[in-house]
Amino acid sequence: MARCSVAVDPSRPFKPINIAVLTVSDTRDLSTDTSGELLAERVKAAGHRLAARALVRDEVPLITSRINTWIDERAADAIIITGGTGLTGRDVTPEALDKIKDKEIPGFGELFRWVSYASIGTSTIQSRAMAVLSRGVYVFALPGSNGAVKDGWDKILAEQLDSRNRPCNFVELMPRLREM
């Protein structure tokens, strides 16, 4: 994969943000949630603050309630979800995000599938990874596998949530996200 010239500009200050991690799963609990743990570790290693971490079942009301609570409490600048993005009947994370979104960020899902293609080939077509903006907070939904978390964080979110990333990044937009 060819990459454009993206770089961390060392003359710009790093601005840590508050990131909440939500795992959506019917089969895991916090002790067996390897993808949520992996994501939480990467968030902290990058210098951000892990604002919260939770696990909910694959049910739209539970997912939307947890997200809305974090947004209402202003607990997070960004929420990253792992799980519930597949095609089975119980995979409902995208449907939950449809209920709370103000704006879609379609490029995230497109880019995730492009990045994921290098790792898992055409199986990436089964992912409904997506991102939305909800009341000024970024909400990113990744598949629940460790590989998907690595692809999504290492190859997309680590750069876009770094205020030093050039030519642009999500962090520099945060002060204006709630403008009308």
- Residues in contact with 136: Cβ distance below 8 Å, sequence separation at least 6, in sequence order: 71, 174, 177, 178
* Token pair belonging to 101: 């979104």
| Inside any domain, residue 3 | no
Q: Does a structural domain hold residue 20?
A: yes
Total domains in the chain come to: 1
pLDDT tens digits for range 89-135: 999 999 999 999 999 999 999 999 999 999 999 999 999 999 999 99
The torsion angle over the Cα atoms of residues 36, 88, 156 and 140, rounded to 10 degrees, is -70
With respect to residue 106, please indicate whether it lies within any of the assigned structural domains.
Answer: yes
The rounded distance, in Å, linking the Cα atoms of 165 and 12 is 9
- Residue 171 and residue 118: Cα distance in Å, rounded? 27
> What does the pLDDT read at residue 24?
98
Q: Is residue 65 part of a domain?
A: yes
Cis peptide before 106 (omega within 30 of 0): no
Instruction: Give 3's pLDDT tier (boundaries 50, 70, 90).
Output: low
Task: Find the radius of gyration of the CA atoms of the chain.
Answer: 15
pLDDT of 180: 62
Render pLDDT for 31-81 as a digit per residue (tens, 0 to 9).
Answer: 999 999 999 999 999 999 999 999 999 999 999 999 999 999 999 999 999
Q: Are strands 130-134 and 78-82 parallel, antiparallel or unpaired?
A: unpaired
| Structure confidence at residue 165 (pLDDT) | 95
What phi and psi values does residue 138 have, to the nearest 5 degrees?
A: -75, 135
Q: What is the mean pLDDT of residues 149-170?
A: 96
Answer whether residue 76 is part of any domain: yes
Q: Which residues, including other chains, have CB under 8 Å from residue 11's CB and lie 6 or more apart?
A: none
Is residue 10 one of the residues assigned to a domain? Answer: no
Cα 82 to Cα 63: distance, rounded to the nearest angstrom: 11
Q: How far is CA 54 from CA 30, 67, 125, 144, 170, in A?
A: 8, 10, 27, 14, 23
Give me the CATH number covering residue 155: 3.40.980.10
Residue range of the domain that includes 49: 15-172
Please report the pLDDT score of residue 178 as a whole number: 80
In a domain? residue 119: yes
pLDDT band at 4 (very low <50, low <70, confident <90, very high): low
* pLDDT the model gives residue 169: 96
The answer as to whether 7 is a domain residue is no
What local confidence, expressed as pLDDT, does residue 179 receive? 77
